[in-house]
Structure 1
Amino acid sequence: MKRLLLAGLLVAAPLRAQQGPASPALLAEIDKRTAAIVDKVTAWRHDIHQHPELGYQEKRTAALVAAHLKSLGMEVQENVGGIPGVVGILKGGKPGPTVALRADMDALPVTELVNVPFKSTVRTVYNGVETGVMHACGHDMHTAMLMGTAEVLAGLKASLPGTVKFLFQPAEEVPPRGGAQPMIDAGVMQGVDGVFGLHVGPGPLGALSFRQGAISAASDGFRIVVHGKQSHGAAPSRGVDPIVVSAEIVTALQTIVSRSVDLGAAPAVVTVGAIHGGLRENIIPDSVWMIGTIRTFDPAARTLIGQRMKTLATNIAAAHNATAEVTVDLGYGSTINHAAMVSRFSPTLKRVAGTAGAQESKTASMAGEDFSRFAELAPGFFFNLAVSPVGTDLKTVASNHSPLFQGDDKALPVGVRAMSTLALEFLTSGGIPRVP
């Protein structure tokens, strides 16, 4: 209810007088200032990449960010939302709207296999298993680029007609609350008239892509625990084998999308990401657990999949004299790009991308993003930056979340210029009209 009331207050905000486009001199100054700090941005990226931190644990990264923002003379808020969130507030020299720029800071429980000089060697225990920690989704690049953007815009403070909020968010990879919701609950979106974010991924180095409407899927998590009866592996008839039951459930879950969901309305995905049961070869365990993700765009499909999952799992288990507990956690909604934001500011991306190109994507990504929560409270524009090294075979390149994912430092100034220019043009244009 609190979020709905806040959304209502934002939508009801008075219209701002439209000003004009940013001057060529200011745009040129952004390019100049970006070029001057490329080495700093690259060093930040390498440092963050070499010291990755999982969601809600980003204390070192947050301290690095906060120290930099303070050095720029900004008002800085730390531990926002009771988590390692950082907000920097840059008040321009002239009155105007408020724009928010967001970057996520968390890494993943992935052991890095890319041999770069700044390779991560950090280890942790995750879900009871020892593993490496890696920025396998490019959040190290996101953070470094927004730090660079903060420096560029701070240098233009006197010329900015309005306010810039820099949102450095933890725990994007930790649904269902993630890092966005605690920061929103702490009030970071109050007074914000528009919000921008970007995500890196495979593709031609420096290319930008965007989409009006849904650009990423709703992302929900599920957990299924199958309870059987433990027995000797040589005497399965004396027990109830939860591994066999779980195998049937995993197979049956794949029929939900293929046989129960109207794929003509929108795509959907059900993935089992982890399954565990037993300790040795000749003992049938008493239980098995599995976890996974559900990705949808259609609200009806989102509800249906959760219902069908519970029906299939519990009835398959019952048919084998086992039981199944099914929990579905509603996570992030679909990220919706505001039509007027895309219409007005996509030409900015085309200008920034230059020969690398910027184009509208025909399809949305099945990836999930808690940027969706920021975009529910102010007109949002989320776009993608391709970071594959030149010469990479784009047909076989490793995707985000792979231990082989690699981002080229040469893409960093493109992201800095894009975010800096979008913020400047949003402010100089007076934002976009709101419908009361």
Structure 2
Amino acid sequence: MSTSPLLTGLSAKLPELRALYEDLHAHPELSFAEERTASLVAGRLREQGWEVTEGVGGTGVVGVLANGDGPVVLLRADMDALPVTEETGLAYSSKNDGVMHACGHDMHVAWLLGATGQLAATRDGWRGTVVAVFQPGEEVGGAPKVLADGFAERFPRPDVCLAQHVAAAPAGLVGTRAGALMAGADSLRVTLFGRGGHGSTPEATVDPVVLAAAVVLRLQTVVSREVGANQQAVVTVGSIHGGTKENIIPDSVELKLNVRSTTEAVRERVLAAIERIVRAEAAASAAPREPEIVPIDSFPVTHNDPAATEAVQAALAGEFPGLTFELTSPVPNSEDFGAFGTALGVPSVFWFVGGADWKLYEGVDLEALVRDGIPPQIPSNHSPRFAPTLEPTLETGIRALLATAGHWLAP
């Protein structure tokens, strides 16, 4: 166990922090509806002695704790849950029907509140200013909304931005990499127009359902035929809606697409291919109207500053000897955390904290885990069965935040 002064008294607080986590997990709230969570966060921060601002970017909460001259460190946690029905069977399962903390943001809130409590209680052990950001709406790109709400003018400008995410890796492992860490993401809404009519006379219609099927199948060739083997991209059609009855051909069908890419060149190529295919298939079907292609949201590539990442990796290796790893390539998941460093013009670093029971990894080669990712049989983020094991995940995340922030805040 580390002897850092920032950890003084943490062990005694863990039972209460566990209860906090269980409460957060049982009361998930969707993006920009995190009213209860935000109120709980603001109350805890005030009790700890932080200067608190609520309603940032909607339901965001920002705490500032100044402790003498020194660097300014931004620590960020996201608060929103997902429209998922929980299937974990936990005693503290979601009480909100159809809503679940399936991505672990409840753990992120508990981690940061644990860290803010330690920083407030151990002020003799550090110098500088900490800006704790509890962000709404990460699942739908909430970081730009927080930043657009006068963030740079209202709060101290950080020297570094730090954040972490629970993952389905074995609990206690901590890992990251310099440069591109997570893919950029683009979501699109595509509306395909036809000419509706009776299912018994398709020759008198233009069937947008058949058109949609052709588009979905053709989109599967974008990555396999237009993206190089040494490049990364994913194209997913996650939603199709059209029609009301089996014998009625509808006038339109709506698709929702998600694209992941790790470079701007690949991103532009994939988005251009999607538009080309959608419009060409509509023309081939003699659609009466051009399709509509509307962006829903866009996240940039999560990029870790090399020098700051080196410092973070050293801090984590010192705190967790033998339990750190370095990813060999970017992962296809996406995050909006990078918007903070980009908008504020400062380095940022993001890393992963394992939260899965080690028993799930019996017989799994950990080197293969780093190389190939989470095995498909293990419930991962966004699964209705995703449930981080509380120990040592809860303590690991708090210690990781304190160890990394402590690098910059050392007295």
TM-score by length of 2: 0.91
Residues 78-115 of structure 1, C-alpha deviation per residue, up to 9 Å, x if partnerless? Answer: 0013x0010011111x3101000000000011111110
Report if the CA contact (8 A) 2:6-2:125 is conserved.
Answer: no
The yes-or-no answer on 1:325 pairing with 2:324 is no
What is aligned with 1:185?
148
What is aligned with 1:90?
65
399, 402, 411: which is aligned to 1:417? 399
Report if the CA contact (8 A) 1:100-1:195 is conserved.
Answer: yes
For residues 37 and 295 of structure 2, what CA distance do their matches in structure 1 show?
A: 31
For residues 185 and 227 of structure 1, what CA distance do their matches in structure 2 show?
A: 36
The range that moved more, 330-339 or 94-103, is 330-339
What is aligned with 2:34?
58
| Letter matched to residue 106 of structure 2 | D
* Matches for 1:249-398 after TM superposition, within 5 Å: 249-264=215-230, 266-322=231-287, 323=289, 324-329=291-296, 331-355=298-322, 357-376=323-342, 377=344, 378-393=346-361, 395=375, 396-398=377-379
Q: Count the aligned residue pairs.
A: 389
The yes-or-no answer on 1:141 pairing with 2:138 is no
5, 19, 22: which is aligned to 1:43? 19
For residues 424 and 33 of structure 1, what CA distance do their matches in structure 2 show?
A: 16
For residues 36 and 263 of structure 1, what CA distance do their matches in structure 2 show?
A: 51
The secondary structure found in structure 2 opposite 1:78 is strand
% identical aligned pairs: 39
| Letter matched to residue 409 of structure 1 | L
Report if the CA contact (8 A) 2:143-2:340 is conserved.
Answer: yes
What is aligned with 1:77?
53
| Letter matched to residue 47 of structure 1 | D
| Letter matched to residue 399 of structure 2 | R
389, 399, 403: which is aligned to 2:380? 399
**Offset, 1:263:** 4.0
The Cα RMSD (Å) is: 1.6
The secondary structure found in structure 2 opposite 1:173 is helix
**Offset, 1:73:** 1.2
Report if the CA contact (8 A) 2:301-2:338 is conserved.
Answer: yes
For residues 227 and 345 of structure 1, what CA distance do their matches in structure 2 show?
A: 51
Residues 55-74 of structure 1, C-alpha deviation per residue, up to 9 Å, x if partnerless? Answer: 11101100000000000111
For residues 340 and 110 of structure 1, what CA distance do their matches in structure 2 show?
A: 38
For residues 289 and 330 of structure 1, what CA distance do their matches in structure 2 show?
A: 16
For residues 158 and 121 of structure 1, what CA distance do their matches in structure 2 show?
A: 41
Report if the CA contact (8 A) 2:262-2:330 is conserved.
Answer: no
Report if the CA contact (8 A) 2:102-2:384 is conserved.
Answer: yes
For residues 149 and 241 of structure 1, what CA distance do their matches in structure 2 show?
A: 57
For residues 389 and 31 of structure 1, what CA distance do their matches in structure 2 show?
A: 24
What is aligned with 2:95?
121
Report if the CA contact (8 A) 1:99-1:426 is conserved.
Answer: yes
**Offset, 1:318:** 1.5
Structure 1: gaps (5+ residues): 1-23, 124-131, 430-436
Residues 161-203 of structure 1, C-alpha deviation per residue, up to 9 Å, x if partnerless? Answer: 10011000000001xxx22112222343552100110001111
| Letter matched to residue 192 of structure 1 | P
TM-score by length of 1: 0.86
The secondary structure found in structure 1 opposite 2:309 is helix
For residues 345 and 402 of structure 1, what CA distance do their matches in structure 2 show?
A: 29
What is aligned with 1:163?
129
The secondary structure found in structure 1 opposite 2:275 is helix
